[in-house]
Structure 1
Amino acid sequence: MSVKIITVAKELPEYSRKTAEILPFLDVWLSGQDDRFVRKVKKIFEGAQVDQRYSIMQPEEVFTKTSFEERNQIYAREVIILGEKVLKNALKQADWNPKDLDYIITVSCTGIMIPSLDAYLINKLDLRQDIVRLPVTEMGCVGGVSGMIYAKNFLKANPNSKAAVIAVESPTATLQLNDFSMANMVSAAIFGDGAACVLLSSHEEDLGPKIIDESMYHFYDNEHMMGFELTNSGLKMVLDIEVPETISEHFPHFIHPFLAKNNLTIDDIDHLIFHPGGKKIVQTVEDLFSASGKNIDDTKEVLRMYGNMSSATVLYVLDRFMAKKPKAGEKGLLLSFGPGFTAQRILIEF
């Protein structure tokens, strides 16, 4: 019995802007700051390799100071809308009925909701009353891969079952307008909002890429590197400049042993399905894989088109590969990094 990826669906908020259209808002936001600092921030935006980003709010709202309560209310309202749309899209693509689902996992780290998104989706789509639900709320950018790992383990233990992983994120709702740290500037430059849903199945008759193996790797004593601080004004970004270097140092430990366990080397991997954390992380991973002749062009393209949508982004990259319909037997490696600090991997066979 194997677990298969059936389909991936995407959903974007209604508002979007090109990076060039965002720059005038920086002049207003950073008014009163040193001119050199303002020029530096603009260069960060222009050099972030993000051409466009989407948001649950108009730019005027994003750059208007509001309370944490008001921002979180917008987040909760819009996350429910996006979550319902993307799950409906995925079910339609797979030709599944909502009551076919046995397990629902919702992933988000950019706001606070109790009850969590999955509870709303059960009511809006009339899912089964005995469906198993799991909200994943504090995994950051790695949450999309985490959700798939949890779904795979459930489906492996429950043959003839179906699961949905729904990732909905709004990093723009977390922008701290009183925080002029480089971490906040970089975050503002690379992040955007979006939603994705992946459906998985352990029914023998269902077709799709098989999950061969999965694993989590936790970097000791690096909790400080990435995450959010909960402040009176909301979720304040934590992003250490040493993240790319740390990834590079640990690369041999979280890639090669995982592949060796499956009697593989990096040369056996046909498709790198990597989460675009940002330009420097993308460059680091690209350099690490370049020696083996691999590229992460699809990762860079997702970053360019949408920015980093936290946990949902890797599913956008996965969708691009599934749309290409790789040859039977080809192997793909999903890879993502997140708070903790952690690297998480899924090995799939098309």
Structure 2
Amino acid sequence: MATLCRPAIAVPEHVITREQTLDLARELHADHPQLNLALRLIANTGVRTRHLVQPIEDTLRHPGLTARNARYEAEAKKRVPEAALRALAHAGLGPRDIDLIVYVSCTGFMMPSLTAWLINEMGFRPQTRQLPIAQLGCAAGGAAINRAHDFCTAYPEANVLILACEFCSLCYQPTDLAVGNLLSNGLFGDAVAAAVVRGRGGTGVRLHHNGSHLVPGTEEWISYAVRDTGFHFMLDKRVPGTMADLAPALRDLAELRDWDISGLDFYIVHAGGPRILDDLGTHLNLPSSMFRYSRATLTERGNIASAVVFDALERLFQDGGAEHGAQGIIAGFGPGITAEITLGSWTRTKETDADAEAARPPARRPITVSGTGGVKSVNSA
């Protein structure tokens, strides 16, 4: 049975605080008729710090879509390989052990996908399958886990590498002055996440069942308007209330396995904002502490889109994980309005890892990583 292993998270070196964000809003939008409302909304996000791929003065400039997308590609090639290698190490695998790469991102565009570059530069086998997902937004992290689970169900010996690369700051649009856009300017952050789903062996979340739910008639509530200047984020004011529709979907999926959604041991959910977590707790009759890992991600890194669920899961690993057999849920929420939901239990048996090691292929030659990735070599065994 497939197991989601420990993720690796990488955040850029440039940091902006909530106080700096509020000061910038006051400076840049002093004449905005709804400035006080925007400031109050930003202050209430719960976000204290966010990481950016550029210094704030560069982030606030818009050099055009061509330059921004070139920056996205350069930063992805610079930052993704290192996270991928750490995730592979967490899973006890090398690049040549991977059968499928799932790459999710909604903040830049490449064709061929970054997966092609990674296969060439990092020594993945030419037969490695590629699955880029670009249009599920924040839900894509959950979708990536689910598609990896599906693949490992079809091919039980397979291993899948998931990569989430989100540089939300590269979508900043200085001419978008709606309150929802001003709020998003103080909410989203940048991050890269990587994780491996092993078909056999591994320590982490053993994946049991997955599902998806779309709330009818909400496809325009979270969207991009694609214009000459790039992606313009569109956010409907009704989005924070969507847990009233999505909480029952989580409950229904849990009941398929006779699990009590309000009695699970861990909850790894997308932290789109504080109200999402507050409402989900209310609808599922759960204390705030059950979402502590998601809240920590939101507080320290902001909404990092598809990378949120992996960052929250890594915090559970840092906390020592859960007891063997503990039941939990992973859920990503995004455009549609869509929920991608996974049910799993914690596995940490020595027998599982021993069986996996015995089944691994013989050691292979070291793999050299060149190009802009910045990682020189790693042993694939």
User: Is the shorter-chain TM-score for this pair beyond 0.5, marking a shared fold?
Assistant: yes
The 1:125/1:65 distance shift into structure 2, 3 A limit, reads: same
Give the 3-state SS of the residue equivalent to 2:313 in structure 1.
helix
Q: Which amino acid in 1 is paired with 2:163? A: I
**Conserved 8 A contact 1:192-1:309:** yes
How large is the RMSD of aligned CA atoms in angstroms?
1.7
CA distance in 2, matches of 1:206, 1:334: 18
The match for 1:103 is 100
Superposition pairs of residues 266-345 of structure 1, within 5 angstroms: 266-290=261-285, 295-323=290-318, 324-345=320-341
Does 2:118 match 1:121? yes
Aligned counterpart, 2:60: 63
User: Where do residues 180-259 of structure 1 align in structure 2 (5 Å cutoff)?
Assistant: 180-203=177-200, 205-252=201-248, 254-259=249-254
Match of 1:140?
137
2:14 is matched with: 15
Match of 1:88 among 76, 85, 88: 85
1:191–1:310 contact (8 Å) kept in structure 2: yes
Structure 1 residue 284: Cα displacement: 1.6
Q: Work out whether residues 243 and 283 of structure 2, in 8 Å CA contact, stay in contact via their aligned partners in 1.
A: no
Relative distance call for 1:316 and 1:338 in structure 2 (3 A) is: same
Distance verdict in 2 for CA 1:233–1:157, change over 3 Å: same
Report how far residue 22 of structure 1 moved: 2.9
Cα separation, partners in 2 of 1:66 and 1:236, compared to 1, 3 Å: same
Matching of residues 17-56 of structure 1 within 5 Å: 17-31=16-30, 33-34=31-32, 36-56=33-53
Query: What are the ranges of 5 or more consecutive residues in structure 1 without an aligned counterpart?
Result: none
Q: Which whole-Å CA distance do the structure 1 matches of 2:309 and 2:242 have between them?
A: 20
Gaps of 5+ in 2: 347-381
Q: Distance in 1 between matches of 2:57 and 2:289?
A: 41
Report the CA distance shift for 1:296/1:208 in structure 2 as closer, same or farther (over 3 A): closer
CA gap of 1:145–1:181, structure 2 versus 1, over 3 A, is same
Matched positions, count: 345
Looking at structure 1, the residues matched to 169 and 289 of structure 2 have their Cα atoms a distance apart, in angstroms, of 32
- Residue-by-residue CA offset, 1:167-189 (whole Å, 9 max, x unaligned): 01011100110010122111111
Structure 1 stretch displaced more, 101-110 or 235-244 = 235-244
Do residues 264 (structure 1) and 259 (structure 2) align? yes
Shift of 1:24: 3.4
Q: Which of 153, 158, 174 does residue 156 from structure 1 map onto?
A: 153
Query: Following the alignment from structure 1 to structure 2, what is the Cα–Cα distance between the partners of residues 285 and 40?
Result: 24
Shift of 1:291: 5.0
Residue 251 of structure 1: CA displacement?
2.5
- For 1:7 and 1:293, locate their aligned partners in 2 and report how far apart those are by CA, in whole Å: 24
Is 1:76 equivalent to 2:44 in the alignment?
A: no
Distance across 2 between alignment mates of 1:27 and 1:288? 36
With over 3 angstroms needed to count, the CA separation of the structure-2 counterparts of 1:267 and 1:42, relative to structure 1, is closer
The share of aligned pairs that are identical, in percent, is 24
Three-state SS of the structure 2 residue aligned to 1:295 is helix
Q: TM-score, normalised by structure 2?
A: 0.86
Indicate conservation of the 8 Å contact 2:14/2:52, yes or no.
yes
